Amino acid sequence: MERKKLVFATNNQHKLRELRQIAGDRWEILSLADIGCHEDIPETASTLQGNAEIKARYVKEHYGYDCFADDTGLLVDALNGEPGVYSARYAGPAHDSEANMKLLLRNMVGVADRSAHFSTVIALCLGSDIHFFEGRVDGHIEQTPRGEEGFGYDPVFTPEGSALTFAQMDSDAKNAVSHRGRAVKKLMDYLLS
């Protein structure tokens, strides 16, 4: 049986690898590069849901593929929800994970309340319909980075109930509890129902 094709509107190889692992062999997950989409789709919405929808609709309208897109934010309570929708470009437009993490830790110096959560919203354009799936994981921001796995803010985020940062977990352990893993599970449950 031929696997159904679905475009994941990303060129982020970390996200793509993570998602292909979660999806398994049920769907063939294509990247933007796989369909020849090399333009930078603007993320101009003020919410994670809005940005995910912009990206998914763009691919559907310009390339004709059923598509899903995600937007993820790290929301820190003591920073009024920052970096939030600007998580990937917190330290500037270069999407520099190391600079973003350093800025976050600088902004958290002397802050006692280190509670935070990651949120992922997935927008799925399937035929003419759009559906949304959200995953969230609560935790806290560490004083210093720990671990070599993962990407983004993973070295400074420890999920509730764990002594390990996301960057100290292997991909299976992270996918089992992460915001993206939870949102993707909802997406996959929907696609297989």
Q: What is the set of active-site residues?
A: 71
Parallel, antiparallel, or unpaired for β 115-126 and 129-141? antiparallel
The 8-class DSSP code of residue 83 comes to: B
**Helix axes of 13-23 and 179-192: crossing angle, nearest 10 degrees:** 50
Which residues in 55-149 belong to E strands, given as ranges? Answer: 67-76, 115-126, 129-141
How would DSSP label each residue in 123-177? EEEETTEEEEEEEEEEEEE-SS---SSS-TTGGGEEETT-SS-GGGS-HHHHHHH
